[in-house]
Structure 1
Amino acid sequence: MEITRRRLLSALSAAGLLTVIPTRPASAAATAAGSARLLANTVAVFAGTAESNARPETAAKLAAIDKAARANLQSMDAAGVGELFAGLALGTNEANLNTAFRRLYEIALATRTLGAALSDLYENTAVQRRVIDGLVWLHERYYGDQSKGYYGNWFHWEIGISQHVSKTLALLSDQVQAYRPDLVRTYVASMDAYLRNGIDGDVNLDSRFHTGANLADITTNRILQGALLADDARIRKALTDQLTVFATIDPYHLDHGVTDGYYADGSFIQHSSVAYTGSYGKGLLIRVVQTLKILDGTGFAHGEELVPTVYGWVKNGFAPLIFEGWMMEIVKGRAVSRTDTGYTDVAAVVEAVTDLSSLASGADATALKSYVKHIRSTSRTALDPAGFVSPVSIVRYADITDDATVPPGDLNPASRSVAFNAMDKTVHRRPGYAFALARSSERISKYEYMSGENLMPWFQGDGAYYLYLSGQDQTQAYGVDYFTTVSAPGLAGVTAPVEQRRTIPELYGKPYYDNPGHPLNFTSSSASQNTYVYFPRGTNRHSGGAVLGAYGAAGWVQSDDVPYRDKGAGLLPDDFVVYRNATATKSWFLLDDEIVVLAADVGDSAGRAVTTTVDARTAAPGDQVTVTGSLRDGRPWRGTGTGDLQWLRYANDTQGTAVGYVFLDTPQARVALDTVTRSRRVVRTSNPDTAVTRGVFGITVDQASGAEPAALAYALVPNADEARLRSYADGPLKVLANTARLQAVAHTGLGLTAANTFTSGRHEAAGMRIDGPASVLVQRERGALTTVAVSDPTMDRDTVTVLLRGRPLREVASDDGVRVSPVPGGTRLEFDTRQAYGRSFMATLRG
C-alpha cells in the first residue's frame, strides 16, 4: 500500500483516506468512550497488563521500572531548597528540566505497573499525588511562564517535555481528575504555547521542524492530550497531521516543501537531506506502531489500513540495512558517535516489528514473525527484550520465539543489491558479508554533526564504505570505536587531502557557529546553521547507480561542499572556516564474490598531498591478526610497509574473518597495522571519557603534493583465502576503462559488463555505446538471453540511450518507459528516466 504524499494530502477529505479516519466526528458519548479506551491502551502499552506482567519474561522489565521509580523518589527525598530532584539544577538548562519531567513519568509508570516487585508502589495514591504535586511545582516555577521558557534546544520544549507530561497525565488521568482537575487544561495550554514552530499552538506542516519523526512525536503527544480532554476535534486533527508521515515522498511534487520521510526505493530522510533510517527513521517506526496500538478499538481511526505501508518500510527500508542484528553505519547520521551499538538500534526495531506482526494479518504477519526470529538467530549479541518499552511487547516477542511453527526467515533474499539512490546510499548483500556505501550530492548531506555529536564527520559521505563479515561481533569492527580509533580521512574508501582539520567546538568555542548579526542569521537552530554547519550537502549532481537482479553499480563524483563554494562566492562571514576537498571520480561494481572499485582523476587541484584508503579495519587488542600477500613480481609479502602489490589478505584468526584485496591497476600501496588508543570523547563531547584501544589495519595509496592525478582499480574479496586471491591473475575480472569520463569492468564468469559514464557525449565500452552520463549493467546468459539495467545518476535526464552492438536482439520483456528497436549494427534501447529519481529500468532481450 504505497501512497505518494501528494495523493495522501489531496485525499484526506476523500473516501479513500476516510477509511483511516471516520468521516463524521463522534458524538460526545462516543468521544468520551473512545478517549477512555485510548488512555487505557496507553497504560497497557507502557505499564503492561495483568496478563503480560504475570509472565516470567517480563520480570526484568518490571524490576527496572521499579528500580528507576525508587531511585527517583529517593532523589526527591534528598532535594534541597529550590530543587525537585537532588542536584538537578533548573532554570537555565532545558535538558535538566526535561530530565525532571522524565523522572516524574518514571515514578508514575511504576504506580500503574502491576507486578510482585512493585506491590507498595502499584496504585499508591500518595505516590501518584506526589507526582502530580511535582507537575504543579514545575509548572509554577519553571514551565508555566512562557516568557522565561524556550531556551536551549527547541526539541525539549516542543517534543521532549510534552511527551513526558502527556504520558504522565495519561497514566494518572483518574487521580489528576480527582485531585487537580484543572491540571490537564493548564498543561495543554502551556504545551500549545511552547509549540512555537507551529501555528497558534498547533502543527504547521510548512515548518521544517514538523516533519518525519518529529511530526510523529508531536502528533502522538497531541492525540494523548485530546484523549485527556475528550476533545474529538483535537484527536482527529492530530491524526490527520500524522497521516502525512505514512505517505511516500514524491520528490517532484513536494507538499509543503517537505523532503523528510520514506521514498519509493526504501530511503528515509530527516533534516531535509540526511540519510537517517537507523536513527530518526527508527524513531518514526517506533512511534507510529505505538500510535496504532493506542488507537486500537477507540473508533478514532482504523489503523489496520496503514499496516501494509509500515510493513513495506520494514521490508524495503530497514531489512537491507540490518546485517546479523546490526544497524549499518551509513544511515545513522550523528548517532554513529554514540556509545549505543548497532545491536541496540536493531533491538528497538525488533520491538516495533514484533508489535507490527500483531497488527498485520496473513502472509505479512507470518513474514514479520519469521523476521523477528531471523534477527534473533543471526545476531552476534543476544537481544535482551528487557530493554523493550512495553511489557506486552516482551510477551509477544517470547511467544514468537517460542513458536515452533514459525521458522526464522529473512525479509531479504539471500543475495540482494539495493540502490537507495534517494538518500545516496548503496547496500550489497551476499551470504557471508554485506557491503554498505555512503555517497553524497547536492541533494544529500555529506555528513551530520550537531550538539557536539560526531565531531569529526567530514568524509563520512565521501565514498566511505563498510564491509561487514558474517559471524563477527560488529562492535569489534565498527560502531563508535571505529570512528574513535580510525582517523577521519582514513575511513575505508575515502580520498582526502593531507591536512589538519578542527572540530566545530575547537573552531568556535561552542557547539555551533554563532553570528546572529550576519544576514544569514547564524543561531543554534537557524536554517543557515543546518546548511553550513550541521549537515552540509555536496555540490555534485552525479551520485547514483543501477541494479540488475542481485548485481549493482554505483558511480559518484567527489565534490566540495556547499560551505566551501559559498565562502568563495563571498556569502559567508570572514571568520567562518571552510575546507576544500580532494578530487576523484569513483565507481563501485557489486558482484558475487567481489566488490570492484575504480577511481580516476584522484588528486588535488590545490596541489596538496592526497591519500586514498582502500580499507580500514579494527580488531580487539588481543586478536591474532595476520597480513599476507604477493608483489607483482611474484615475491611474497608479509606484514606492513609500502609495495607494488598484486594481492593482499588481512585475516583476524580470533574472529575467524578475512578480507582479500586484488590490485587490478593500482599504484604502490602502504600497509599499516597500528595499535591506537583514544578516548571516545574525541568523537562526541558527552561520551564518557573512556579510552579504547584497537588494532587498526589500513591500506592506503599516497600521492605526494603536486603529483599528477592518479587512477586506482582494485577489488575487495570478502572471506577470501590465499589460493582464491592468487587465482585472480587469470581472471575473471577485467578493467575495461578507468577515466573521469568512463569506468567499466567485465566479469567473464558472470557474463556481466558494468559501466558508469560521467560526461555528455558518446561512450564506447565492450560492445556498448552509451549516450551521456548513466549507470549500465548488461548480463549475457547462456540461452541467448541478454538483460540490461540502466539508471540516471544525475536524476535530471529525460532519456538515456544505449546501443548494444552486434546482431539485432528482440524484446522479451521490459519495464514501462523502455523502447527497444533494431538498428544497423545492433539494438537501440531508450529508457525514459524523466522524474525517475535514479530508479533502475530493465529490459530482457533474445537474439
Structure 2
Amino acid sequence: MTTRWSRRGFLTASTASALALPLPVPAGGTAAAAAEADEFATLRAKWRTLVLGEGFSPTAEPFKSRLAELGSTANELRHAMAPAPGSLWPDLVYADPEPDTDQESYGYSGNMHASYGRLHTLALAFGQPGTGLTGNSTLRTAILAGLDHLYTDVYNENRARYGNWYSWQIGAPQALLDVCVLMYDSLTATQIAHYCAAVDHFVPDSAVAAYTGTSTGANRVDLCRVLALRGIVGGSAAKVALARDALSPVFPYVTSGDGLYSDGSFIQHTTVPYTGSYGSVLLGGLGMLFALLNGSTWAVTDPQRQIVFDAVEKAWAPFLYNGLVMDSVSGRAVSRGLSATDAKQIQQDDHLRGHPVLASIVLLGQGASTAENARWRGLVKGWLQRDYYSPAMNDPALPLPQLSRLKSVLDDTAVTPAAEPNGHRLFPNMARATHRKPGWAASLSMADRRVTHYETGNGENLRGWHTGSGMLYWWGDTFANGQYSDAFWPTVDPCRLPGTTASRKVLADAAGGDWGASLPDVNWVGGATDGQRAAIGQYLKGLQSTLLAKKSWFFLDDTVVCLGAGIRCTDGTKVETTVDNRNLGPVGNAPFTADGIVKPLAYPWSETLTGARWAHIGGHAGYVFPGGATVKALREARDGRWRDINRGGSTTVLNRKYLTLYVDHGTDPTAATYAYLLMPGATAAQTQARADATDWLTVLANTNDQQGVAVPSLGFTGVSFWFGGTVGGLVASDPCCVMVQERGDGTAVVCVSDPMRMRTGLTLTWNRPVTSVTSKPATVTSATTGASLRLTFGDLRGTAGATQRVTVRLG
C-alpha cells in the first residue's frame, strides 16, 4: 500500500537538524591534518549541541515531560522495528513496486525518508538526558542496525533514486547525518565511509553548481547543509568550503523567481509566496549554518548575508502575529494536518508553523549585531507573551533546542517585549499585504501573472483554488487567533473564503496544475501605501473560469473598505463575494445581529437580509453596507477531513460551525458590484454608529473603470484607476493606484504606483491648492503647484509596483 507524505512533514523533531562528524587522523599524520581533524571535532560537537539543545534542565517543565514522551516514543519505535527487504518498519514500505509511475513512487521514497526520521528520533532519545533511554546499549544496537539496513537495502551509492527528489537529496541525508553525529562514537570508519558514499551519490557537488531548478532559495540552503555536514563527517574541507560558497547566491535580492526581494517578498517554486513555510526553512537553515561555521575556517563572511539579517524585520516580522505565521504566505503547507498513518504526527497550523520561525530568529540573532539581536529578542518575547491561543511552551511539535531558545527569551528579564507595530506593509512582488492596527491585524492574498492563484503538489492543498482571489484574513489581538488554526482548511467551503469573489463552478482537485502553475493573465494587481494606510486593487480572473472582477480594498484605522465592480461571468453558475466566513469552532454560539435584530443560533439557518445596513458577529467583527445591500447570512455545521484536501491526511471526520455573510451576484452576472466595510473587533454599538454616520465615507467611484473612496475625517482618499480618468479631485492619465493622505500639520503625502509595471509615463493631477513640493522620488520628472498639483512621472516600469511618495505643503 502506498503511503503519501509531504516533503517536509516527517522530521518534525529535526527540522533544525543536520549533522557533523570527522574521521580520525591516521598515525603519523601531519600537524596540519591533526589540526584540521580537531576543527572537525569542534564542529561536530557544536552541531551536536545545536541538535540536542542547551541551557535547559531536564528535570524542569516543559522539558521533563517532553523528554519522557520522547523516550516513550523511541521505545515504541524500537520495539516495532523489523528489518526486512523493502522496509525497516512494516508500516513504512519503501520498496517501489511501480518504478515507472513517478507520482505513485512519491509515497515509497517518502517512506524511506520517514524511516531515517524515525532513526533520528531514536538517536535523540539516546543522546538526550531524561528520556529513560539515555545511552541505552540496546537502543544503540537498534540504531546501528537500522542505519546498516537502510544503507544496504535502499540508500547507497549503487541505487537510482525514485519518487520525490527531496527525499533523496535533503530529507534522508539530513536525518542520516544527524544520526551519525549523535552516534559518532559508536560508528566504525567503514560505516562512516559507506554513509558518506551514499550521500555523495545522491547529493554530488553538481547539486549546487547552478542556482536553478531545485537548487534555489530554501532548497539551496538545505543542500548546503547536507554538503557542509557531509564534509565534517567525512573530513573533507573542500565539501565544507563548497557548502559555504554555495550559500552566496541565496543572499542577494532577486527580481524574479525564487528568493528574497527588496520589498520583503519571498518566493519559492517560482510563483508561490512562501515566507511562512519554505522561508521558515531558509531562515532556520541559515541560522544553523551561520552558528555552526562561525569562528571556524569556513565561517560565512559574505557581506551580503546582511540582507538576510535585514529580512528578519523586513520579510518575516510583517507576517508574524501573536506567535502565528500568516497562512497567506504558507503555500500548500496550510493543508497539512494529522497524518493518515502516523498517530504521533502533530497536526500543523499557523501557530505551530510560527513558533519555529521565532526560534530561528533567536538563533540567527547570535550572529547579528548587538542592536539587531536585542530588537529581535524583544519582538520574539512580545509574540510569545501574546500567544494565548497556542503558547509555544505547550507546542508538542517544537523540537527541544527551539523550545529552549524560546524559553531563554521568555525568562530573560533584560528583554522588554515589543508591542505589535502600527502600520501597513505592501509586497508587490508576491501580491500580498499586511495591515496592523491596535487590536487587530489583517493580510490580503491576490494573484497575477507572476504570482499563482494557489499551490498544489504532492497531493497537497487540493482545494486551495480561490486563496489568491482576494482572500482577506484577519485576527484580533485577544480574540479570533484560532480562526484558521482550528481545522479551518478541511472544513471551510473552499468557494467561500473571506473576501473572495468566486464562481460556484465545480473544479477538480488540484485544478490549474501543480507547483504554482495556475497564473492568471492579469497585470493590474497592487497598490499604494504611506506605511499606515493603503489603497490596493486586484483585477481578478477566476481559476479555470470566465469570471472577471475589479476588486479594491482601502485599509484604514479601524476599518477595511471593500469594493467590487465589473463582476461578470458566463460559467452558467452563481457568482458570490464572501464578506466573511467565521470559523466558530465545534460549538458555534456566537450571536449574530443584523440592523439591530438578533438572529437565531440554530444550525442550519439562513436568511436573505434585504436592504441590510449593518451586521455584527459577537466576539468577532462588525460589517457595514453603505446605502444598504442584499446580503445572505448562513449558519452551517460543516464536516471535513484532512484527507479531503491532502491525500496524506487523516480520514477522521471533523465538524466546525461557520457563520457566513456573502453577496449572491446571481448566475452569469454582467456588471455586478458590492461595497462593504469590515470592522474587526467592533461592538454592535460601534458598528451601528458607523452605519448611521452616512457622511463618514464617500464612495467616489465603483465601476469597471475606477474604484475610489474618501474619508474626510481621516484626510484619506484612495483610488484604483483601472483606466485613466477623473475620480473626485484626482485625474490620472493612465492606469495607476493613488492614495492621498492629508495631515494635520498642513502637509499631505501623495502615494502613486504602477501595479501593471507598464507605464513609460504618467500624469496625475490633484485639484487641491498646493504651495510646494517638499520631497519627491526621481521618477517625478516635473511637479507644478498652485491651484492644483500636477505630477509628471517618467518611466515607472523599473519600480516593480513600488509606491512613489510625494510630500507637499497644502495651500
TM-score by length of 1: 0.83
**Partner Cα separation in structure 1 for residue 289 and residue 324 of structure 2:** 26
**Partner Cα separation in structure 1 for residue 37 and residue 398 of structure 2:** 27
Larger mean Cα displacement after TM superposition, 822-831 or 262-271: 822-831
Contact 1:38 1:296 in 2 (8 A): no
Q: CA deviation at 1:667?
A: 4.5
Tell me which residue corresponds to 1:84: 88
For residues 224-373 of structure 1, the aligned pairs below 5 Å read 224-251=229-256, 259-302=257-300, 308-339=306-337, 340-373=348-381
Tell me which residue corresponds to 1:803: 765
**Partner Cα separation in structure 2 for residue 796 and residue 306 of structure 1:** 30
Residue 100 of structure 1 pairs with residue 64 of structure 2: no
Amino acid at match of 1:88: L
Which of 701, 704, 724 aligns to 1:740? It is 704
Q: CA deviation at 1:553?
A: 1.2
Which of 108, 121, 128 aligns to 2:134? It is 121
Q: CA deviation at 1:385?
A: 6.6
Contact 1:627 1:648 in 2 (8 A): no
Residue 479 of structure 1 pairs with residue 485 of structure 2: yes
Q: CA deviation at 1:823?
A: 5.7
Contact 2:156 2:197 in 1 (8 A): no
Tell me which residue corresponds to 2:797: 834
Amino acid at match of 2:385: S
RMSD across aligned C-alpha pairs, in angstroms? 2.7
Question: Compared with structure 1, are the counterparts of its residues 313 and 139 closer, same or farther at alpha carbon in structure 2 (3 Å cutoff)?
Answer: same
User: Identity of paired residues, percent?
Assistant: 27
**Partner Cα separation in structure 2 for residue 765 and residue 747 of structure 1:** 14
For residues 553-568 of structure 1, the aligned pairs below 5 Å read 553-561=535-543
Tell me which residue corresponds to 2:631: 669
Tell me which residue corresponds to 1:5: none
Amino acid at match of 2:64: A
Q: CA deviation at 1:357?
A: 3.1
For residues 7-26 of structure 1, the aligned pairs below 5 Å read none
Residue 187 of structure 1 pairs with residue 195 of structure 2: yes
Provide Cα deviations, 1:683-721, integer angstroms capped at 9, x if missing partner. 222222222222211122213334431121111112223
For residues 747-766 of structure 1, the aligned pairs below 5 Å read 747-759=711-723, 762-766=724-728
Amino acid at match of 1:557: Y
Which of 650, 654, 670 aligns to 1:688? It is 650
Residue 784 of structure 1 pairs with residue 790 of structure 2: no
Classify the secondary structure of the residue corresponding to 2:682.
Answer: coil
Question: Compared with structure 1, are the counterparts of its residues 589 and 37 closer, same or farther at alpha carbon in structure 2 (3 Å cutoff)?
Answer: same
**Partner Cα separation in structure 2 for residue 462 and residue 27 of structure 1:** 61
Residue 496 of structure 1 pairs with residue 502 of structure 2: yes
Q: CA deviation at 1:49?
A: 5.0
Question: Compared with structure 1, are the counterparts of its residues 305 and 388 closer, same or farther at alpha carbon in structure 2 (3 Å cutoff)?
Answer: farther
**Partner Cα separation in structure 1 for residue 474 and residue 92 of structure 2:** 43
Question: Compared with structure 1, are the counterparts of its residues 399 and 610 closer, same or farther at alpha carbon in structure 2 (3 Å cutoff)?
Answer: closer
Provide Cα deviations, 1:506-560, integer angstroms capped at 9, x if missing partner. x9xxxxx9xxxxxxxxxxxxxxx647xx541111111111111300111110114
Classify the secondary structure of the residue corresponding to 1:676.
Answer: strand
**Partner Cα separation in structure 1 for residue 397 and residue 789 of structure 2:** 57
Amino acid at match of 1:270: Q
Provide Cα deviations, 1:422-462, integer angstroms capped at 9, x if missing partner. 11111111111112111000000000111221121111101
Amino acid at match of 1:829: L
**Partner Cα separation in structure 1 for residue 279 and residue 55 of structure 2:** 32
Tell me which residue corresponds to 1:428: 435
Amino acid at match of 2:808: L
Tell me which residue corresponds to 1:398: 407
Tell me which residue corresponds to 1:642: 608
Provide Cα deviations, 1:253-300, integer angstroms capped at 9, x if missing partner. xxxxxx111111111111110011111111111111111122133221
Classify the secondary structure of the residue corresponding to 1:558.
Answer: strand
Classify the secondary structure of the residue corresponding to 1:490.
Answer: coil
**Partner Cα separation in structure 2 for residue 351 and residue 387 of structure 1:** 15
Contact 1:295 1:303 in 2 (8 A): no
**Partner Cα separation in structure 1 for residue 149 and residue 424 of structure 2:** 56
Which of 570, 581, 597 aligns to 1:616? It is 581
**Partner Cα separation in structure 2 for residue 669 and residue 193 of structure 1:** 61
**Partner Cα separation in structure 2 for residue 166 and residue 678 of structure 1:** 39
Tell me which residue corresponds to 1:628: 593
Tell me which residue corresponds to 1:12: none
**Partner Cα separation in structure 1 for residue 251 and residue 302 of structure 2:** 13
Residue 137 of structure 1 pairs with residue 102 of structure 2: no
Tell me which residue corresponds to 1:710: 672
Question: Compared with structure 1, are the counterparts of its residues 145 and 393 closer, same or farther at alpha carbon in structure 2 (3 Å cutoff)?
Answer: closer
Question: Compared with structure 1, are the counterparts of its residues 545 and 813 closer, same or farther at alpha carbon in structure 2 (3 Å cutoff)?
Answer: same
Classify the secondary structure of the residue corresponding to 2:475.
Answer: strand
Provide Cα deviations, 1:594-638, integer angstroms capped at 9, x if missing partner. 1011111112145543222111112024343222223xxxx9574
Classify the secondary structure of the residue corresponding to 1:202.
Answer: helix
Question: Compared with structure 1, are the counterparts of its residues 752 and 819 closer, same or farther at alpha carbon in structure 2 (3 Å cutoff)?
Answer: farther
Larger mean Cα displacement after TM superposition, 300-309 or 239-248: 300-309
Contact 2:456 2:514 in 1 (8 A): no
Provide Cα deviations, 1:469-528, integer angstroms capped at 9, x if missing partner. 2212533x2236222232111111222223222324xx9xxxxx9xxxxxxxxxxxxxxx
Tell me which residue corresponds to 1:603: 568
Contact 1:426 1:436 in 2 (8 A): yes
**Partner Cα separation in structure 2 for residue 103 and residue 146 of structure 1:** 23
Q: CA deviation at 1:66?
A: 2.6
Amino acid at match of 1:445: T
Contact 2:635 2:660 in 1 (8 A): yes
Amino acid at match of 1:809: T
Residue 158 of structure 1 pairs with residue 169 of structure 2: yes
Amino acid at match of 2:488: Y
Larger mean Cα displacement after TM superposition, 183-192 or 748-757: 183-192
Contact 1:737 1:765 in 2 (8 A): yes
Contact 2:567 2:669 in 1 (8 A): no
Question: Compared with structure 1, are the counterparts of its residues 206 and 392 closer, same or farther at alpha carbon in structure 2 (3 Å cutoff)?
Answer: closer
Gaps of 5+ in 1: 1-25, 252-258, 508-512, 514-528, 562-578
Classify the secondary structure of the residue corresponding to 1:809.
Answer: strand
Question: Compared with structure 1, are the counterparts of its residues 117 and 646 closer, same or farther at alpha carbon in structure 2 (3 Å cutoff)?
Answer: closer
Q: CA deviation at 1:319?
A: 1.7
Tell me which residue corresponds to 1:844: 807
Contact 2:392 2:403 in 1 (8 A): no
Classify the secondary structure of the residue corresponding to 1:617.
Answer: strand
Classify the secondary structure of the residue corresponding to 1:625.
Answer: coil
Amino acid at match of 2:703: T
Larger mean Cα displacement after TM superposition, 451-460 or 818-827: 818-827
Contact 1:609 1:704 in 2 (8 A): yes
Amino acid at match of 2:366: S
Classify the secondary structure of the residue corresponding to 1:445.
Answer: coil
Q: CA deviation at 1:725?
A: 2.7
Tell me which residue corresponds to 1:167: 178
Question: Compared with structure 1, are the counterparts of its residues 530 and 90 closer, same or farther at alpha carbon in structure 2 (3 Å cutoff)?
Answer: closer
Amino acid at match of 1:766: G
**Partner Cα separation in structure 2 for residue 558 and residue 103 of structure 1:** 45
Amino acid at match of 1:459: H
Q: CA deviation at 1:811?
A: 1.4
Amino acid at match of 2:660: G
Residue 585 of structure 1 pairs with residue 550 of structure 2: yes
Question: Compared with structure 1, are the counterparts of its residues 51 and 691 closer, same or farther at alpha carbon in structure 2 (3 Å cutoff)?
Answer: closer
Gaps of 5+ in 2: 1-30, 97-107, 338-347, 601-605
**Partner Cα separation in structure 1 for residue 669 and residue 554 of structure 2:** 27
**Partner Cα separation in structure 2 for residue 337 and residue 388 of structure 1:** 17
Which of 441, 445, 462 aligns to 2:469? It is 462
Contact 1:798 1:835 in 2 (8 A): no
Amino acid at match of 2:528: A
Q: CA deviation at 1:150?
A: 1.5
**Partner Cα separation in structure 2 for residue 81 and residue 797 of structure 1:** 63
Classify the secondary structure of the residue corresponding to 1:292.
Answer: helix
**Partner Cα separation in structure 1 for residue 244 and residue 746 of structure 2:** 54
**Partner Cα separation in structure 2 for residue 711 and residue 605 of structure 1:** 16
